[in-house]
Amino acid sequence: MDLSFKHQFSLVCVILLFPILCNCKEYYTKSRASYYGTSSGYGNSRGACGFGDYGKIVNDGNVTAVSSKLWKNGGGCGACYQVRCKIPQLCDDNGTYVVVTDYGEGDRTDFIMSPRAFSKLGLNTVTSEKLKKYGVLDVEYKRVRCTFNGNNIVYEINENSNNPGYFAINILYVGGTYDVTTVEIWQREQHQWVAMRRAYGAVFDYANPPEGEIKLRFQLSKNIEAHHVVSRFAIPASWKAGATYSTKI
C-alpha cells in the first residue's frame, strides 16, 4: 500500500515537472560575451558553419561564434539569441539579437560576436565604445525565434557539389527555434529515406546522389520535441552548385 502510494507520487511529479522544464527556456541564462575583429564590423566569411559570404552579412552582420555548449556539433548553426549586458548606465535593455555563424571558445564566453553585434549591446555609440574596452562582458541570453527569413528552411547547394557525383547543401536559415538534427535524401530505388552526412557546421553531403530530382527531408528538434519536414518541391535534376531553395516549415 505504502509502496504504491510512493509510486503514484513520483508519477505525478514527473508530469508536473514538464511544464516547469519548458518554462525554463523563457528565462535568461547568465554567461559572458566578447567580440572578434573584422575591418568592416560585419561577420567573417570563414565561419565554421560553412555559410561563406552569407555568414558575413546575414542579420545585418550581427552574428556570433558560440561555445561548444551552444554549437551542438554544428546543430546550433543559424540559431538566434537575444544577448544583453547588465551595466545600468551602459547597456541597452534589449541588447543585441545575433545569429550563430561560427564556433569559438573564449575566456568562459558563450558568445564571440562581430563588432556590429557587440556594439548593439550598448545604449549608444559612446557607451558601446566603453563596453568594447571591457573586452569580455557579463551577459545574460535566451534563445529567440528567428524571423528575418520567415517560417522557412533556406538551403543552398554547396559550391563543391558536382552533378551527378557529389551532392552537398548548406542550411542557411531555419525559422523559429528549431535545430536541424538530420537531413535525409529520398532513395527512389530502395524506397527509403537515407541520412546525409553532416560534413561540418551546417553543411550536409552525400556521395553518388540518386539520379534525377532530389527530394529532401529535414528532422528538426526544439527542446525535447522532434519532427520531420519534407521539402515540398524536389530539387530539379539539373541542380547546380550555388542554387538556393527554400521550404516551408
Ligand X SMILES: *[C@@H]1O[C@H](CO)[C@@H](O)[C@H](O)[C@H]1NC(C)=O
The residue among 176, 2, 33 whose CA lies nearest residue 104 is: 33
Query: Interface with ligand X includes 97 (CB under 6 A)?
Result: yes
What is the Cα–Cα distance from 199 to 49, expressed in whole angstroms? 10
Q: 38 vs 221, which CB is nearer to ligand X?
A: 38
Q: 145 vs 228, which CB is nearer to ligand X?
A: 145
- Please state the closest distance from residue 148 (CB atom) to ligand X, in A: 7
Classify strands 152-157 and 203-207 as parallel, antiparallel or unpaired.
Answer: unpaired
Query: Interface with ligand X includes 105 (CB under 6 A)?
Result: no
- Please state the closest distance from residue 14 (CB atom) to ligand X, in A: 36
Choice from 38, 52, 87, 92 touching ligand X (CB under 6 A): 92
Q: 59 vs 170, which CB is nearer to ligand X?
A: 59
Classify strands 29-35 and 111-113 as parallel, antiparallel or unpaired.
Answer: parallel
Query: Interface with ligand X includes 93 (CB under 6 A)?
Result: yes
Choice from 62, 109, 231, 246 touching ligand X (CB under 6 A): 62
Q: 53 vs 211, which CB is nearer to ligand X?
A: 53
Dig out the grid coordinates for 231 from the structure. 521539402
Choice from 31, 34, 44, 59 touching ligand X (CB under 6 A): 59
Look up cell 535568461; give the residue: 28
Options 67-75, 102-110, 112-120, 204-212: segment touching ligand X (CB under 6 A): 112-120
Choice from 84, 116, 215, 217 touching ligand X (CB under 6 A): 116
Binding site for ligand X (CB under 6 A): 59-60, 62, 92-94, 97, 116, 119-120
